[in-house]
Structure 1
Amino acid sequence: MSFQAKNSERVFNTVMTYLPQDFRGTLIRQQRDRSERNKQAEVDALINSGGSIRDRYALLWKQQMDRRRQLAQLGSATGVYKTLVKYLVGVPQVLLDFIKQINDDDGPMEEQRQRYGPPLYNLTSLVLFIRLFLSLSWGRFETRKLKGDELSALEQALNVYTSEFERFIKFLSEVFVNSPFFISAAEAGALEAGQNDDYKEISIPAGKIHEVSFMVDSLNSYIAWDFSLVQGKINLDIGFSVECMSPSGEKTLILPYRRYESDQGNFCTCIAGNYKLVWDNSYSTFFKKALRYKVDCIPPVVEPVQFMSEEEA
């Protein structure tokens, strides 16, 4: 695996640690894998058809710009990612801001280019001079052979270039591995916790229940939830269950009743109908429960992801 491919995979895996570890992350990973396979197939087809190095460079550059565009879409929650990012317990804003700005004119990557580009340009100039020397020497090989001191200078130049280039690549790898581009997913979650206004809070009196219903018309929709009780001196819990009422009036228990202090989950709908999330405090005689929750019903997303991949192909 190439240096660029290794770093691309490392960055992608780092980004994935910020995403919810459920179907959203899986869909984004599948979309990315399909996209990368399509890109590699384009490169292979170009090489097999006899494309020049210039043609290959142009294609690789175009593909890299496509990757940047996808990052911007994810960061701006547009395109196919508009549906994914709006999901319950969505992507931390700190990550969205980062991937929107990473390739800006004054963004992190441009700063790295300005800081570490000149040494690389010097190495490039050195190897170009070596190539020029070899070309001129080869052109005059029949009339004039290289002398011992010239061969020694050439060998020394090649050794310097090789060692310096390896040292630069190793150094740059360490820079990116240890760069403060990312804070940890845990830190991002902590920052996001105090800034998220999408949660609702409700007080459920003793002996009462609270219900949230979704009318679902499309199969393979996702219903997701995240809730917790605001705890006081005594740790409290609350009953929670999910059920579905079909258009014919048949009731199906989706998630059996159980008591929780907090919970986060989702499921894919297999029938159309009225889905009801129930928080049950009917068993409590004295204690009301302060519930903080967020729920969402997400329409099917597989088709938009596939459509985007087909366009890229």
Structure 2
Amino acid sequence: MASTNGLVPITRAFLSSFYDKHPFPSISPDVSRLTDELYNMFKHLRQGSSHLLPEGQRLLMQEAESKPPHKIDENMWKNREQIEEIMLLLESSHWPKTLQQQSTPEDVELAQVLRQLRDKFECALKVVESFQSKNSSNIFNTVMTYMPQDFRGTLIRQQRERSERNKQAEVDALVNSGGTIRDRYALLWKQQMERRKTLSQLGSATGVYKTLVKYLVGVPQVLLDFIRQINDDHGPMEEQRQRYGPPLYALTKLVLTIRLFLSFSWWRSENVKMQRNQISILEEAVQVYVSELERFLLFIGEVFANSPFFVTAEEAGALEGSKNDGYSETTVAAGKTHEVSLTVETVNSYIAWDFSILQGKLSTDIGFCVEHTDSSGRKTVSTIREVVYLIHISVHNCGSVLLPTNTAPASVFMSA
């Protein structure tokens, strides 16, 4: 069991400073260019048809024209889903009937291109699957590193293994009952959200893990804080989305547009044959998508694997403090109350106080509490409703009185 002494969960400010050292080289401009070219080709196909769109085509068009999801992992699932849908379209059994017959040299040539494109997407699918698997294992193994290495850790691992087997059985049942790729990925994303909920429940010792509360004695509180807040919408992971989301969003848009053009091309195949210049643009788009996706995943895979999850309180405080012009100092008379209002990015922000006592006082009780007021004016008292520190004074250098370093700064994590 790794020690968490003196550590606090990663803050967004610290993660931001870490990511400053790891900027992602710009995504290729060909991604947006090819997305636009494919979309214009789709619009040409769409305008040339007077038929009402089938529901599947209409939903696909709406999705391709919408903004990609904000969360990075949701984009990963979305890319996997589109890759599988495209691979299905590229199977010879799903080609237009005229193309399956390969009655012309042009059809033979196009068939060869389509097989090559499917091979490229198959490689891309393996890359995404590998990234997701490694990323999930890294997070879980990090959590387990700080768990007591006894039956408590074993119980957590067994629970996870049972849960994963049940989830896979659920997916298998859906597939065997005739579920579509879209149905399967809707289920997979639902299961991913369940994993997030389970991780949060472990941190707060609720839900599935409520029966284990009495066994969690000895699990570092900093670990429970970390796994409870790791997926907060406005927490540290939001820094990942701000830094590395845009290139991934562009790739999600491109793969959706590739599928949109292919799907409409097959739908209009009886009236419109794919032209040579369109085939060239499609080939280039697939090549750019696969190569840029692999480059992106290789980069963020290494960055995420080396990202810190815990930092010292001093490091976290120093970075948070660097956002301000300085510090505020005030004198509070005995028996008086002093109130300070601070603006924070989110609940669970790190707040520090540094107390010092006038010379001649041997001991003093200092009490304080924390309230969080949200945008609607609703107040929530911290789960630590009142914290009282008995500060022991030491004498140093000609009788001056200092606060021992192991009692400062005092810190409270606000929680709603």
TM-score class normalised by the smaller sequence: 0.5 to 0.7
Partner of 1:176: 304
- In the TM superposition, what is the alpha-carbon distance from 1:83 to its structure 2 partner? 5.4
Q: Which has the higher helix share?
A: 2
Deviation readout 1:142-188 (Å, 9 max, x if unpaired): 555444443322222211111001111111211210112245xxx89
Identity within the alignment, %: 77
Equivalent residue for 1:76, pick from 175, 179, 204: 204
Partner of 1:109: 237
Deviation readout 1:8-41 (Å, 9 max, x if unpaired): 1222112111111111111111111111111111
Residues 171/50 of structure 1: CA separation in 2 closer, same or farther (3 Å cut): same
- Please say if 1:134 is aligned against 2:271: no
- Please say if 1:49 is aligned against 2:187: no
Q: Which amino acid aligns with 2:140?
A: F
Partner of 1:263: none
Show the 5 A alignment for 1:276-287. none
- Please say if 1:6 is aligned against 2:6: no
TM-score by length of 1: 0.53
Q: RCO greater where, 1 or 2, for CA within 8 Å and sep 6 or more?
A: 2
Structure 1 CA distance for aligned equivalents of residues 272 and 178 of structure 2: 36
Of residues 48-57 and 131-140 in structure 1, the stretch that sits farther from structure 2 once superposed is 131-140
Gaps of 5+ in 1: 189-313
Deviation readout 1:253-299 (Å, 9 max, x if unpaired): xxxxxxxxxxxxxxxxxxxxxxxxxxxxxxxxxxxxxxxxxxxxxxx
Q: Which amino acid aligns with 2:179?
A: G
Residues 171/61 of structure 1: CA separation in 2 closer, same or farther (3 Å cut): same
Q: Which amino acid aligns with 1:58?
A: A
1:91 counterpart SS class: coil
Partner of 1:256: none
TM-score by length of 2: 0.40
Q: Which amino acid aligns with 2:239?
A: E
Deviation readout 1:213-238 (Å, 9 max, x if unpaired): xxxxxxxxxxxxxxxxxxxxxxxxxx
- Please say if 1:30 is aligned against 2:158: yes
After TM superposition, which residue ranges in structure 1, 4 or more long, deviate above 6 angstroms?
Answer: none
Q: Which has the higher strand share?
A: 1
- In the TM superposition, what is the alpha-carbon distance from 1:132 to its structure 2 partner? 3.1
Structure 2 CA distance for aligned equivalents of residues 41 and 59 of structure 1: 12
Q: CA RMSD in A?
A: 2.6
CA contact (8 A) 1:18 1:92 kept: yes
Structure 2 CA distance for aligned equivalents of residues 59 and 135 of structure 1: 23
Show the 5 A alignment for 1:197-208. none
2:218 counterpart SS class: coil
Show the 5 A alignment for 1:98-247. 98-139=226-267, 141=269, 145-182=273-310
Equivalent residue for 2:148, pick from 12, 20, 24: 20
